[in-house]
Amino acid sequence: MKKSPLTKLIITTVTLCAFIGALGFSLFKTSQHIKDSRSALGRIETKTITTEQERNRIASTDDVLKEQQDNISRLERKAINRQRPLEFIERIEQIGHRTNNLIALNVEESRSNPESLFFRLSIDGTEQNVRNMLSLVEALPFPLNIEGLTFQRGGILERSATFASTHMVIEMKVRAQ
């Protein structure tokens, strides 16, 4: 059977339209895939930047830690001996003597823990001497944490009744090994 030119034209047109439709659909799907890929790439870039920033923060923290390692080691060496806190006690007594204060230093085992010893330091002296002692106690080369401080004017001063007296109680934890 011989096809007429009109039938050939229709078949060619339909085939061409189907081909163009398939090509258009293929281009549409490809563009969607490209769009999705770009979005995924943007998320990956954002995540990469965030990860890089976090890595830089960690690296800078490591650098600071390395720089401070000598100080950390020095502080760890300055922790008092849990069984014999004599060096710390002697330093407190020296400060008390140097500042002309009467002191009483007690260890409270019930408030101590494996990492630190709890001390209660009572100081009696003139207001200025007591304040000087507080400053020197804070400057001790031991890792200590002052947890309580009571300051009272008009306390009992046994050395001399001619000076105005002040009473202070310092509660502190001192790192111990």
Q: Which residues pair with 170 in a beta bridge?
A: 121, 149
Tens of pLDDT, residues 70-104: 766 665 566 777 777 888 889 899 999 999 999 99
Got the DSSP string for 61-103?
HHHHHHHHHHHHHHHHHTSBPSS-THHHHHHHHHHHHHTT-EE
Amino acid code (one letter) for 62: D
> Mean pLDDT for the chain?
84
The per-residue pLDDT for 88 is 85
3-state secondary structure at position 16: helix
Amino acid code (one letter) for 156: I
Residue with tokens 């934890």: 173
Which of 89, 165, 95 minimizes the C-alpha distance to 134? 95
Mean pLDDT to the nearest integer, 10-35: 91
For residue 30, give both structure tokens.
Answer: 């490809």
The per-residue pLDDT for 105 is 92
Mean pLDDT to the nearest integer, 142-154: 85
Q: Higher-confidence residue: 11 or 177?
A: 11
Mean pLDDT to the nearest integer, 36-53: 89
The per-residue pLDDT for 141 is 82
Mean pLDDT to the nearest integer, 3-23: 89
Mean pLDDT to the nearest integer, 34-58: 89
Alpha-carbon distance 62 to 134, whole Å? Answer: 35
The per-residue pLDDT for 162 is 47
